[in-house]
Chains A and B, each alone.
Chain A
Amino acid sequence: MQEKKPSKAPKSPNATKAKSAAAKPESKLSELQVTRERKTVIMQGNEAVAYGALDAGVNFFAGYPITPSTEVAEILASELPKRGGTFIQMEDEIASICAITGASLAGAKALTATSGPGFSLMQEGIGFAKITETPCVVVNVQRMGPSTGMPTSPAQGDIMQSRWGSHGDSPAIVLYPDSVKESYELTIRAVNLSEKYRTCVVLLLDEVIGHMRESVRLPDMANVRVINRIKPTVPPHWYKHYDENQKYLSPLASYGDGYRFHVTGLTHDAHGFPTNKSVEAGDMMDRLRKKITYNIRDLVQIESHEMDDAKIAIFTAGITARAAKAAIAMARYEGIKVGLLRPLTIWPFPDDAVRKMLRNVDTVIVPELNQGQMIREIRRLTKDKSDSNVVAIQRVNGQLITPNDILRKIKEVS
Chain B
Amino acid sequence: MANIPQKIVHQYLRHDKKFPHVWCAGCSNGIILGAIIRAIASMDLNRDDLVMVSGIGCSSRMPVYIDMNTLHTLHGRSIAYATGIKMHKPKMKVIVVTGDGDCTAIGGNHLIHAARRNIDLSVILVNNNIYGMTGGQCSPTTPHDAVATTAPYGNIEPDFNVCDLAMGAGASFVARTTAFHVTEMQNYIQASLEHPGFSLIEVISACPVIYGRLNKKGGAPQMMKEFKDNSVPLTAIDKLPKEKVEGKIIRGILRKEIRPEYCAVYADLVSRVTPNNGGDK
Which B residues between 172 and 222 are near A, CB-CB below 8 angstroms? none
Q: In which size bucket is the chain B interface? A: 35 or more
* B48 touching A260, Cβ below 8 Å: yes
B80 and A95 contact, CB distance less than 8 A: yes
Contact B77 A13 (CB under 8 A): no
- Contact A25–B275 (Cβ < 8 Å): yes
Task: Return the contact of B71 from the options A84, A100, A105, A258 (Cβ within 8 A).
Answer: A105
Mask of B60-86 contacts with A, CB within 8 angstroms, 1/0:
000110011111111001001111110
Q: How far is the CA of A325 from the CA of B276 in the complex (A)?
A: 47
**In the complex, chain A residues 51-72 whose Cβ is within 8 Å of any chain B Cβ:** 59-60, 62
A334 CB to closest chain B CB (Å) equals 56
Given A99-B84, A106-B84, verify A266-B279 contact (CB < 8 Å): no
Tell me whether B85 and A255 are in contact (CB under 8 A).
Answer: yes
Known: A13-B272, A95-B109. A100 touches B73 (CB 8 A): no
Bound CA–CA A4/B109 (angstroms): 26
With A60-B87, A106-B92 as known contacts, state yes or no: A13 contacts B72, CB within 8 Å.
no
- Does A214 touch B at the CB level, under 8 Å? no
Specify which of B49, B85, B276 is in contact with A105 (CB 8 Å cutoff): B85
Determine whether the beta carbon of A82 is less than 8 Å from that of B84: no
Asked whether B273 lies within 8 Å of A102 as measured between CB atoms, the reply is: no
Q: What B residues does A30 contact at CB under 8 A?
A: 275
User: Considering only CB atoms, which chain A residue lies closest to B270 in the complex?
Assistant: A81
Of the candidates A260, A262, A266, A271, the one having the most CB atoms from chain B within 10 angstroms of its own CB is A262
Report how far A258 CA is from B72 CA in the complex, Å.
18
B89 CB–A CB distance under 8 Å: yes
Q: Which residues from 21 to 71 on chain A have a C-beta closer than 8 Å to any C-beta of chain B?
A: 25, 27, 29-30, 59-60, 62
- A270 interface hit (Cβ, 8 Å): no
A220 at the interface (CB under 8 A from B): no
Q: How large is the interface on A (under 10, 10 to 19, 20 to 34, 35 or more residues)?
A: 35 or more
In the docked arrangement, what's the CA distance between A103 and B88, Å? 6
| A82–B49 CB distance below 8 A | no
B 77-134 contacts with A by CB, 8 A: 77, 80-85, 87-89, 91-92, 109-110, 113
Contact in complex: A98, B279 (CB < 8 Å):
no
Q: Which residues of A contact B85 (CB under 8 A)?
A: 102-103, 105-106, 255
Say whether B242 faces chain A, with CB atoms less than 8 Å apart. no
Binding stretch for chain B, among A86-94, A174-182, A289-297, A304-312: A86-94
Residues of chain B within 8 A (CB-CB) of A259 are 69
Contacts of B88 in A (CB 8 A): 59-60, 86, 102-103, 106-108, 110
Residue from the list B14, B48, B83, B113 in contact with A256, Cβ < 8 A:
B48
Q: Which chain A residues border B49 with CB–CB below 8 Å?
A: 256
**Interface flag for B51 (CB, 8 Å):** yes
Q: State the Cβ distance, A191 to closest chain B Cβ, in Å.
A: 16
Cα–Cα distance between A262 and B53 once the two chains are bound (Å): 10
Name B110's contact: one of A95, A108, A124, A266 (CB within 8 Å).
A95
Interface residues of B in 225-281 (CB under 8 A from A): 266, 269-270, 272-276, 279-280
Cβ of A94: which chain B residues have Cβ within 8 Å of it? 77, 80
Within the complex, the shortest CB–CB distance from B191 to chain A, in Å, comes to 24
Which chain A residues in 248-278 approach chain B with CB under 8 Å?
255-266, 271, 273-274
Q: Is A414 an interface residue (CB 8 A)?
A: no
A328 to B174, CA, bound (A): 67
Main secondary structure of the interface of A (DSSP, over half): mixed
Chain A residues in 8 Å Cβ range of B109:
91-92, 95
- Whether, in the assembled complex, A228 has its beta carbon less than 8 Å from a beta carbon of chain B, the answer is no
Q: How many A-B pairs fall under 8 Å by CB? A: 157
Set of chain A residues within 8 Å of B48, measured between Cβ atoms: 256-258, 260
Given A107-B89, A258-B48, A262-B63, the answer on whether A273 and B84 have CB atoms closer than 8 Å is no
A92 to B275, CA, bound (A): 31
Q: How far is the CB of B20 from chain A (nearest CB, A)?
A: 13
- CB pair B280 A95 closer than 8 Å: no
Find chain A residues with CB under 8 A from B272 CB.
13, 16
Residues of A with C-beta under 8 A to B269:
81
In the complex, are the beta carbons of B84 and A60 less than 8 A apart? yes
A20 at the interface (CB under 8 A from B): yes
Complex formed: what's the CA distance from A60 to B68 in Å? 24
- Decide yes or no: A16 and B72 within 8 Å by CB, A81-B274, A103-B84 being known contacts: no
> How distant is the Cα of A88 from the Cα of B53 in the complex, in angstroms?
19
B15 within 8 A of A: no
- Inter-subunit contact B83/A99 (CB<8 Å): yes
Please tell me if A128 contacts chain B, counting CB pairs below 8 Å.
yes
Interface pairs A-B: 9 shortest CB-CB:
A102-B84, A98-B80, A99-B84, A102-B81, A103-B84, A264-B72, A95-B80, A91-B113, A103-B88
A-B contact pairs, 28 of them (CB 8 A): A13-B272, A16-B280, A17-B279, A17-B280, A20-B279, A81-B266, A82-B275, A84-B270, A88-B83, A88-B87, A91-B113, A95-B113, A98-B83, A101-B81, A103-B84, A105-B85, A106-B51, A106-B88, A124-B74, A125-B77, A256-B48, A258-B48, A260-B48, A262-B72, A263-B70, A263-B72, A265-B73, A265-B74
**Sample of 19 more A-B contacts, CB < 8 Å, known A102-B81, A106-B51:** A16-B273, A16-B280, A17-B279, A62-B83, A81-B273, A81-B274, A82-B274, A95-B77, A95-B83, A98-B73, A98-B77, A105-B81, A106-B89, A108-B88, A128-B74, A256-B92, A273-B17, A273-B18, A274-B18
